[in-house]
Amino acid sequence: MHAIQISETGGSDVLEFVELDDPVPSSGEVLIDVAATGVNFIDTYQRSGLYPMDLPFIPGPESAGTVSALGEDVEALSVGDRVAVAFRAGGYAEKRTVPAVMCVPVPDDVPLDLAAASLLQGMTAHYLHTDTFPLAAGDRCLIHAGAGGTGRLLIQMAKRAGAEVFTTVGTEAKAELARSAGADHVILYSQVDFADEIRSISGVERPLDVVYDGVGKSVFDASLGLLRRRGLMATFGNASGPVDPVSPLTLSQNGSLFLTRPGLFDYIATTEELERRAGDIFAWIASGELDVRIGETHPLADAATAQDRLEGRKTTGKLLLIP
């Protein structure tokens, strides 16, 4: 089979297109013929060394495909089942092995490319608005990068919960995508200071209940200054670089704020959580309540191009690799 392998960390040129033996499922695992794999910022963090991994390494935690072989002691799945995986490296390949307990079934009315495009970012948006800070009607939230994969899904879920949504984007084209997802206030950070604009729109110095931030360093401080007393900052990504260390005293001085750096794995720690979140995502897609936008697809061999475009903020919606 063909795969993308990382043998050393660094720039995108460390992504090697290689031919490897087909993997064989061990006990409790299944072999999946990959139909599509999502490209995510975590892949770039692993490639650069920000998130150290044992090398050589095949990235790609998120993919969907069809079960083609079973290891011993697998009873819940069968050959031919359509499944998706959200948190297990190895998706940058034509075939991959995965523990059966980490697979979620994909309903027949959800295409496999949409499953691959929605699971990781969809479940991230799901836990952020249901558990990290449970949004309710009337809450005010800021969602950075509202035209991105996670951002656009989170906007739709926040509106579904009845929240008032502020979001930031870099271009007018991206602004239209955020508006189409239902955002109430779309701010072009390239044209105005987003914090000043939010204060102007709201008429309040610190109007926000929660900030959902997948951008990181470049927006963190200004975002913190927008939170109301006992508001919550959820910083879940580093698109502009990791956030500088924060003194706990800063949180106290700004109104007893809460700060969390959540990760998906801790919100799908049980089979029940995993299946509940994935089930909601797929049900909303099937019913038309959740619009998943696939921005670009790239051949597996062009993984470096896809990652470069993601890091350069040249994309909207979801990037997929097709083996």
Across 6-10, 79-83, 132-136, least confident range? 6-10
Q: Clarify whether residues 218 and 311 are in a common domain.
A: no
User: Is residue 166 in some structural domain?
Assistant: yes
- DSSP-H helix ranges across the chain: 41-48, 112-127, 149-160, 172-180, 194-202, 220-224, 248-253, 271-287, 303-311
pLDDT digits (tens, 9 = 90+) for 16-38: 999 999 999 999 999 999 999 99
Give me the domain span that covers residue 42: 2-119+268-322
Average model confidence (pLDDT) for the chain?
A: 95
The domain boundary residue, chosen from 235, 261, 287: 261
Please tell me the total count of domains within the chain: 2
Q: Clarify whether residues 158 and 42 are in a common domain.
A: no
User: In this structure, what CATH number is given to the domain that contains residue 245?
Assistant: 3.40.50.720
Pairing relationship of beta strands 15-19 and 82-85 according to DSSP bridges: unpaired
pLDDT above 80: residue 223 = yes
User: Is residue 130 in some structural domain?
Assistant: no
Q: Clarify whether residues 257 and 140 are in a common domain.
A: yes
pLDDT digits (tens, 9 = 90+) for 143-160: 999 998 899 999 999 999
The domain boundary residue, chosen from 240, 261, 282: 261
pLDDT above 80: residue 316 = no
Q: Clarify whether residues 109 and 74 are in a common domain.
A: yes
Which residue do the tokens 């929605």 mark?
A: 118
pTM above 0.85, yes or no: yes
Mean pLDDT of 298-304: 96
User: Is residue 242 in some structural domain?
Assistant: yes
Mean pLDDT of 236-247: 87
User: Is residue 125 in some structural domain?
Assistant: no
To which H or E segment does residue 308 belong? helix 303-311
Are the C-beta atoms of 155 and 143 separated by less than 8 Å? yes
pLDDT above 90: residue 216 = no
Q: Clarify whether residues 70 and 184 are in a common domain.
A: no
Q: If you compute the radius of gyration of the chain from its CA atoms, what whole number of angstroms results?
A: 20
